Each structure stands twice: as C-alpha cells, then as structure tokens.
Structure 1
Amino acid sequence: MTYGISERVRVEHSAESVRRVALVTHGLHRNGGVGTVVSWLRDGLRASGRFTVDLHDLATSAGDRSSRRLRAPRSWWRRSVLSGRADAPDERYWGANAVELEFMRYRPRRELTAALADYDLIQVVCGSPAWAAPVLAAGPPVVVQMATLARWERDSHPKSCGYALAGWRAAMTRITDRIERSTLHAVDAVLVENQPIFNWIEALGQPNVVLAPPGVDTDRFSPSPAGWRSDGYLLSVCRLAEPRKGLDRMVRGYAEILRTRPDAPPLVLAGKGRLEPSVAALIAELGLTHRIVVRPDVSAGDLPELYRGASVFLQTSYEEGLGMSVIEAMACGVPAVATATYGSRESVVDGRTGWLVPLEPAAEVSQFLAARVLDVLDQSGPGMAAAARHRCEQAFSQQVALGRFVETYDRLLGAGGARR
C-alpha cells in the first residue's frame, strides 16, 4: 500500500525493532484540523516501516452514548466505556465517566490505562493538552502534539451566549487551564505548531518542547500542471459551522471585492458540516446567494483538485494553532490571504507566499482582506504561487515534518529496538 511518503523516510528494519505507538486523540471524526493531523501522522509512521499504530479516540460530547452520563441513570451500570468499529479494527473509542462535566473527559479510565500500558510510546494529538491527562498513568513515554491552549482558543471566540452559560464556560475553562498546566509538566515531550505556544510552554518549565508543525503529502497536494490560474475561484476550507473561523468576515470581505470588481471570481466555502445559519443569512442579506457556492462535507479525496482550481485561498479565523488547510492550499501552489493568527504567521510568509491580514481593528478586517485578495489577482499571484509551493516543500513536506516526530521518539526510546 502506498501512503505517499518519500522513500528516504523508509529505513531497513527487523521485526524486533518495530515500535508500537498508541495514537490518542479526541473527536476523531468530528474535529477537522486534529483529524487531518492524526491521519497524516498515522499514515506516515506506518509507511516508515518502523512503527505499528493503533488509534484511540476519546469522547468529547456531553451526550456521548458510550459514556456513563449523569443524566442517564441506566448508563451508570455500563460495564465498559470501550467501543469500536467493525470496519476499523485498529481504532478504539473510549467514553468517559460523568461525561457532561468537561473536566471528567480528562480523567483516566482504568480500562484505557490498562490498554495503553503495553505500547512503547503514547502519542497524543490534540487541540488542548488537557487531552493527554487521561493517559499519564499508563506507563509508556507520552508525547503531546498540540495546537493551542483552551483559554487562548476560547478567548478568541465571538461571545454570543447568556450570562449563565458564559459563567459555566468560564468555570470549565479555569479548571481546564489547571489541568493543562499540570499535564504539560508531566508529559515527556511536547510538539507544538507555532512559536508563541513554544515560548509559553518553555517558560512554564517543560524542558522538552519542540517546534514541530505537522506536514502534508506534497506529492498528493501538488500544483495544477497548467500552473496558477487568475480566473480560479476564491476558496475557503474549514469547519463550516465553527464561529471561530470568522466566515462572516470573509463574506463581508467578498462583498467588498465585488464592489471594486463586479466580475471577480466566485467564492467557494467548503469543508465539514453545514454552514452556520447566521452566515447563510448574511449571504442572503448581501445578495450574494448566486456568487457564493457552499460545498459541505467535502471528502478528503476531493481536496487536492478543489485546491488546484482556486486562485486564492482565504482564511479569516479569530485563532488558529496552525491551519492545515492553508498549508494544503500552498502545497497546491495557491497563495493564501489569512488573518494574522499565531498559526498563519507560522505558515504564511507575508508578502511572499501570500498576505497576512491584521486582526485589529476588527471593523476593518473585511476591507484589508478585500485589498489583499485583489493584489494577488492583479499583480502578485504568479510569484506567490511558486513561493507558496517552495515553502511547503522546504518546511512542511512529509519527510521534513515527520522527521521531527521520529527524532523525538528516538530521543525518548533510544535508537534501538522497542521497549521491553
């Protein structure tokens, strides 16, 4: 089976040297960026020939059916919180106890601890490092690959809930923040996606923190043979119902583009889920229904061609740990115009591979976005397209990015065989 990894990553190995890795994550089939990293890392480690990988997915929802739920007394007597999928024998799903309480999802489960004890290494791929807390008691070295901190992410969200709910969320965030700090001290290594989170964790006192953004398969995500096209559509790929993605700002920015250039290419909003109702209402209010195309639940197999048909990739997030869709687009030779989050500042070289749009003043983000998109379409597109591809090959290719992970594993386990 071919996974798209460079042959140079493959190594000669004996059966005795193959290491067993537990790849632990959360909301695997619901979480866009985290799920993308999990798939990339799983396939890359397997293709290297040095690792076997099993997936362990942790419950994220207050209504999770595999968990023991406070509001469902019959579930209290559930014998096991483990479930699986017949079509994915290497994938296990773990519920939680009292799952309605966020901090309980970060507690160990006896079954999970026992299941993880026989691995050589536990790799946690997560949005927040609190998700590593359930695995700390298992025994093997624990490596966390993280995107951001819960407090940073939640502070960036537009505030739209009532006082009671806001108070509850604030309390859960304070508890999660304490769990994150203690977990980051306890794990064996932390792999981070951007420089600000690296600086924060290093200052916290974690001695083994590595700037190691994940990568993409630059063979699969590659430019169109015809080259960059100025008449291609404008494109965004994200979780469509996620307010943090700021799609309302993108829609307003597109309206600004049309005021300057009525014949501008259409805007395609693609990704997982369905468009947030407020954004759909804004599209209708601005009279853009026939200019904006919504493509929900785009399959992973369709992504490369979707990127290749674009002229500019747009991202208007309030916060991003990295933003895998930006890197995928750049690998396909598409310049990116993105708000200057921590993540986009790591991936986009402002003025060379695309443009970074200031996050403040907030009222002017849409106008800044429009001006930068028009610059790409009118002037800088060809040069930025080539520079975007080159940057992905140099910094985010499979070989380079996966090497950072494997080097960390070798430091923890030694260059020899599996843990005995």
Structure 2
Amino acid sequence: MTATLDPVRPAPAFTERYLLDPAVNADPYPYLNALREHRPVHYSPLHRAWLVTGHAQLTRALREPAASADRVGPMMDAVPEGARGDAERAFDILSRWMVFNDPPAHRRLRQAFQEQFAARAINRYQALIERVTRALLARRAVAGRVGDLVADVAKPLPALVFARWLGVPQQHSASFWYWNARVGDLVLGAAQEEREYRTSLQSLVNLEDYLADLVRQRRAEPQDDLISAVLASGRIGDTVSEAEFVGMLTQMAFAGGETTSNLIANAVRALLLHPDQLAAVRERPELAGAVVEEAMRFDGPSKMSIRVASRDFELDGAIVRGGDRVFLVTAAANRDPDRHPDPDRFLVTRADTSHLGFGLGVHFCIGAALARMVARAALEVLIAEHPGLSLAGDRHTWQPSLLNRSLTALPVRY
C-alpha cells in the first residue's frame, strides 16, 4: 500500500518494534510513548496496519464512519487452512456480535439490550457483588497467606456475577466459562495452531447452542435474568431476530467477564505499586470509583481496538486507504501528555478522570456501568477489609495479546 503522509511534520528517529515482543508486551508504555511522539498516526509495515496513538487523532478515528468495526472477514483470513472447514458457523456467530457491526445494524442490536444496562437495572446487583467478593475472600484470603489475586478474585468474581446476570445455572458454570475462555483465544488472537483454532471454533458453537437452549427455556419459564428481561421487551422476533439475539448473548457472555477481570487485577496492581495512592483511598474510601477510572486510563484492561477502512479517509495528514487495518491504541492515547498532565503517574485524585478505555461514540461499551460497579465493589471490599494486602514479589507476567492487557497471575500476601 502507498501511505500519503504530512510532509511538513518532522519525524524523529524511531525504530519500529513488534507489539507482541515480550518486553513490549510486558510494559508497552515506553514504546507506545515513543511511537506517539514519532507520529501519532503511523503506518506500520511490520503490523500491516495504521497505529493511532495520539488522543486527538484516536478520538477522531473513533468518530470516523469509514473506520468500520466489521472485521470478521480479516479474522477469518487468519484461520489455518486445515481449520477452515470448522470456521463457517463460528464466524457467522461473530458476524452477529454488536461490536463487529456498524450502524444501522449496530444501533438496532444495541437498542434491544440498552434498557438492561441502565443504572436502575444493574444497581440491584450491588449487594450480590459485595457478597460474592466477601465469600471468595473468606475462602482464600487467609492472613499471611500468599495467593493469586487473579485466580482468587479477579477472574471468578465477574464470572459468577455475569453468569447470574445472564441466568446460567451454577451447575453449568464450568463448561460455560471454559467455552468463554476458548472463544477469547479466537477473538483476541491467542489461538495460533490449527488444534487451538479448532477448539476455539467448536467452543463458540457450543456456547451458542447452550445459550439458544437457555433462551427456549426462558421463553417457556421466565426468570429474573437478562435473557428473560430482553424477551419480555418484545423486541426479539420484531426488530432483532432470534439468531441475532443468541449471537449477541455469546458476545455478552465473553466480553463482560474478560474485561472486568483484567480491570480488577490491573487496578489492584496499580494501587499496590503506588502505596501513597492506596493510603489516600484508605483515608477516603469514596475514591474507589476514581481508582477504577484512573486504572482504566493508566493501565486499562485492553490496549487497543481494531477497525478496517471501508473507504479512503484522511486522518492527521495521512490517507488511510479502503481495506487498510487501523489499530486504535487506547493505551497510548490515554497517556497522551497533550490530554493529561503527568500521564505516566497513577493519581487517584486526578481532576480529569476521562479516558477512552470504554470507547467513544456509537461503539461506547454498553456494559461500562456494570463493569465499573463490579470493579468498584471488589476494590471497596479489598481495601476496607484487607489492610495488610501487599504484593508478593515484583515480577508479573502478562498474556501475549495485541488487544488485551491481562495478567496471568498477581501474587499477593493477604
């Protein structure tokens, strides 16, 4: 491809690095800062994509109609030839995910679920979240014990809450969350070998079959859960087809648990690495909500989202051609000094708590309020009831992923 760049702006000396380089994956921010300084809209031959790292530029890209969220086709292209025969149905399911649709289909799908994400609908889960957090910690947070906060709290808490919210019976949770994890391997690019792809593709099919059966059960016998509430709205079968509804449920099942788990773990890590900030929150517990927002900005649960240009468009002096991939690197934009003073500092009393961690515009995360509630409640319990919580060692490993910022474990001493 031929990139047309602004000839006026000087480009500092810069050496491109692979974003999945182990050192960059472990701590992406020094490299992302250098990349943003080099050029906030940069074409990377190494990644065969535009990397958008400036806050102003990324904000414009998020609002650009030609930056399409429909990237199922390119994902299909990455599937090994031997697994292609298993891929058709799985990618048909992905094509019904709201996050892979543009308006007007995106708007229609979102409206079917919108009411169930409003504050009045999710606030009733506050007590459940606090109760589940305490129950998890009661079993695992023994004073003086070294544990793994990811395995002890960050992963199981969202899983339990989101399963309850969807209406998944507890006896089915093991299979349900195994399928979700394998779907994550597919969507987040962790599946590399043919066998891994086959497992992930079949897991997505299994997840849809399970949820389709759950929808049939709720039609016959409604319960107090998301599926029953959306069915009661009358939109399913009217503005949204049954197949679209079930496809969207597979997205809800996957997206909420993964993102919220990462948010909790990253927020706790940031607090424990900055004891002055932890002390500030202990003195002022009402800052727990600010911790969530600052963690989203400082070291959020995802590093980027991906778009594909549906036609040529201009961005910051560059001509993005139709068909080009565009990496919207929110992890870099959230640390842009043109937007946030002293951006590499974790500061829970920061005056401006805005960030792009949940997106912007039509693709702003529909589950943001629920994710915030789960993370805030977990932090409130941990901070108030476990004053001795500290890091057990300073070496932390991260899952290799272009998209996610996900700890494999967070050793802590309770």
Q: Which has the higher helix share?
A: 2
TM-score using structure 1 length: 0.25
Q: Using CA pairs under 8 Å that are at least 6 residues apart, name the structure with larger relative contact order, 1 or 2.
A: 2
Q: Which has the higher strand share?
A: 1
